Amino acid sequence: MFDSGVGGLTVLHECLVAMPAEDFIYLGDSGRFPYGPRTPDEIREFAGQIASHLLALDVKLLVVACNSATAAALPWLQERLDAAIIGAVFPESEVAVQITRNRRVGVMATEATIASDSYRRALLDMDAGIDVFSQPCPQLAAMIQNGDVSSPEMIEAVKSYAAPLKTTRVDTVILGCTHYPLVTPMLQRIFGSSVTLVNPAREIAQLAAATLWRKGIQNRAGREGKYSFLCTGDVESFIKVGARFLQMPFENVSKVEISGLERMGVA
């Protein structure tokens, strides 16, 4: 499993709860965070390097726990790698289509994810009559990555990003970045109880569990799975912030040098 930083740990948390018998390796590319302002070509390059590194560790399923990387690189990775690979966008879009009552769906995400138009395409593929309202949130992931989930600056940022969607009368909002579940209570208060927020972490974890089951490669029930971490940035900072995201014991963290990743990639 990989993410541009610590946001994907919200996915790992859901996976550890849903699949306690499985072993997990999480790589946070915190040394090159954020992905949101980067070009699709850059993100694909990073995703290819990380995927190659993780697949060399003999994993049975690769989870792209980053919406920007999913939008820019998931089909590209799936076409080029002989491995089971899943990501974001599709699972939460499917849930949004199922639960919206007025067929007006909002999407909050990074600039790269919004620019890719991946959510709009996914939603319209499932229901051509849905109205999709996209809201880029340029600073939100970085603020959360830095550990800010409740400051006055965060409150104002969340309000400013939510305001345009509130005027559109959406009844469902996809949190299109795995960092965003950390501010769900704040978002829910701003949107009100009549708006349903779709948590990408929960939906990706359910897709991962279903994929293992369909392929018959899940571990036997009853065993205790293990989990470990890799990061490309400062290890101490990764542990400090990551522990808030994971909400579980946080240890077994090793650093991966970016220069080593750059020697890998996907043809």
Catalytic residue among 15, 137, 177, 231: 177
The full 3-state SS of 56-69, as one line of letters, equals CCCCCCEEECCHHH
Active site residue 177: yes
Active site residue 15: no
Please name every residue paired with 172 in a beta bridge, in sequence order, or none if there are none: 105, 196
Catalytic residue among 15, 66, 137, 231: 66
**Torsions phi, psi for 8 (to 5 deg):** -65, -10
Q: In what order do the strands lie in the sheet with 131-136?
A: 131-136, 104-109, 172-176, 196-198
Burial of 69 (0-12, 13-18, 19+ CB in 10 A): buried
265 residue type, one letter = G
Q: Which residues are catalytic?
A: 66, 177
